[in-house]
């Protein structure tokens, strides 16, 4: 009599476990679907959107839309609440304040900025032509140009004379026609517009991060710190990011090892395992630009409904505290979606 009774007990236990597992599965599936719909992925609309023509499905027909196959270089960040922005803005006119509590669902973030090698794969398959190539020029920092290229340029940005529009500058030729990326395939792709970046992310089944997601990722789990690793730019004298040392714009000492971009895998990762969130290349986000924010709590905010410029975050190898103290997590800046330059790249995110 004892044997059947314990067998029945085991059966009951198995049934309970199965019920629990299925229950958890349903909850997860529900959360995942909501997240996917919120960001327009996995829907009929997405299938026929402009981005679809660049999707892997369109090219390979091996999986559903929005399905990412390359999650190995992504980090699944936990859902959480963090303080976005700051009540002590260093550049108030950028709209760094006020500090506000923001709640985010869990999401995936690329560990690294998108590299030249990765962008090359995208262009090879899709034949994507970047906006810099269509316009025929892109902005390059004067200090990187050869005398030959510089001599042919007569217009500059009055407020920032170190930026020059260079004919033939694009992602394959970051300093103009006489430059190339053959020894920089593992560096961040540059001279990509917001539209180019969005097309790339859609092709790999991802999307650009919202500004809130980007800033949450930048902070690496720390609260109210300037940088992804803390408040000191160089703890124990070590360099934690690729920025400018010396006197801007005339003397870049390259004390951190790089006067231009560095490989996307260089410098220590932050608490979430993400590299170069500040410094190296600026990174596009999906939000429209606005400098006025409320202090209200927010849940998965995705920025203003419309605008003329898109938000970029993190600063670049050109940033120095004296003129562009924007290699802080709360710092922000903007460009029109068709702009490109020699210090602006991106990384992708994905919904769970």
Site residues (vs Ca ion, CB under 5 A): 242, 256, 258, 276, 280-281, 314, 317
Q: Smaller CB distance to Ca ion: residue 51 or 264?
A: 264
Beta bridge pairs of residue 157: 160
Q: How far is the CB of 62 from Ca ion (least distance, A)?
A: 31
Q: How far is the CB of 191 from Ca ion (least distance, A)?
A: 15
Between strands 107-110 and 349-351, the pairing is antiparallel
- For residue 191, what are the CA distances in angstroms to 196, 211, 258, 289, 334? 9, 20, 19, 20, 15
Q: Smaller CB distance to Ca ion: residue 36 or 145?
A: 145
Q: Smaller CB distance to Ca ion: residue 23 or 273?
A: 273
HEC letters along 95-127: CCCCCEEEEECCEEEECCCCEHHHHHHHHHHHC
Q: Smaller CB distance to Ca ion: residue 55 or 115?
A: 115
Cβ-proximal residues to 251 (8 Å cutoff; 6+ apart), any chain: none
Q: Do 43 and 64 meet the contact criterion of CB atoms below 8 Å apart?
A: no
Between strands 80-84 and 100-104, the pairing is antiparallel
Q: How far is the CB of 162 from Ca ion (least distance, A)?
A: 16
CA quadruple 74, 209, 52, 54: dihedral sign: negative
Q: How far is the CB of 264 from Ca ion (least distance, A)?
A: 9
Residue linked to tokens 């262009």: 123
- For residue 283, what are the CA distances in angstroms to 18, 192, 193, 276? 44, 10, 10, 10
Q: How far is the CB of 148 from Ca ion (least distance, A)?
A: 25
| Dihedral, 16, 20, 21, 26 alpha carbons, nearest 10 | 140
CA quadruple 260, 264, 266, 267: dihedral sign: positive
Q: Smaller CB distance to Ca ion: residue 192 or 281?
A: 281
Beta strands per DSSP E along 10-130: 74-77, 80-84, 100-104, 107-110
Q: Smaller CB distance to Ca ion: residue 228 or 301?
A: 228
Q: How far is the CB of 45 from Ca ion (least distance, A)?
A: 31
Q: How far is the CB of 58 from Ca ion (least distance, A)?
A: 29
Both tokens of 339, joined, read: 């702009």
Q: How far is the CB of 119 from Ca ion (least distance, A)?
A: 15
Angle, in degrees to the nearest 10, between helices 194-203 and 116-126? 80
Q: Do 101 and 304 meet the contact criterion of CB atoms below 8 Å apart?
A: no
Q: How far is the CB of 213 from Ca ion (least distance, A)?
A: 15
């Amino acid at each position: 009599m004892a044997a059947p009774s314990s067998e029945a007990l085991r059966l009951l236990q198995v049934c309970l476990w199965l019920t629990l597992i299925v229950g958890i599965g349903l909850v997860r599936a529900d959360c995942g679907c909501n997240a996917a719909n919120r960001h327009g992925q996995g829907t009929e609309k997405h299938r026929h959107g402009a981005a679809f023509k660049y999707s892997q499905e369109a090219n390979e027909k091996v999986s559903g839309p929005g399905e990412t196959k390359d999650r190995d270089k992504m980090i699944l960040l936990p859902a959480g609440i963090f303080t976005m922005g700051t009540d002590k803005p260093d550049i108030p006119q950028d709209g760094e304040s006020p500090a506000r509590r923001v709640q985010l669902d869990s999401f995936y973030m690329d560990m690294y900025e998108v590299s030249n090698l990765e962008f090359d794969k995208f262009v090879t398959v899709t034949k994507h032509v970047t906006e810099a190539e269509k316009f025929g020029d892109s902005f390059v920092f004067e200090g990187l140009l050869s005398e030959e290229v510089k001599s042919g340029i007569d217009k500059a940005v009055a407020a920032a004379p170190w930026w020059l529009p260079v004919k033939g500058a694009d992602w394959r030729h970051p300093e103009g026609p006489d430059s190339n990326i053959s020894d920089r395939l593992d560096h961040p792709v540059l001279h990509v517009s917001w539209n180019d970046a969005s097309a790339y992310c859609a092709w790999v089944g991802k999307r650009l991060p919202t500004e809130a997601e980007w800033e949450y990722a930048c902070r690496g789990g720390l609260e109210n710190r300037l940088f992804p690793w803390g408040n000191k730019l160089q703890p124990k004298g070590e360099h934690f990011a690729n920025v400018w040392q010396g006197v801007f714009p005339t003397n870049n000492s390259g004390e951190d090892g790089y006067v231009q971009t560095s490989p996307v895998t260089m410098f220590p990762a932050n608490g979430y395992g993400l590299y170069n969130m500040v410094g190296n290349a600026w990174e596009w986000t999906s939000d429209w630009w606005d400098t006025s924010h409320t202090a209200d709590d927010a849940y998965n905010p995705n920025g203003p409904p419309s605008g003329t410029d898109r938000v970029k975050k993190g600063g670049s190898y050109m940033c120095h505290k004296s003129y562009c103290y924007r290699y802080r997590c709360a710092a922000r800046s903007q460009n029109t979606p068709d702009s490109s330059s020699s210090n602006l790249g991106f990384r992708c995110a994905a919904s769970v």
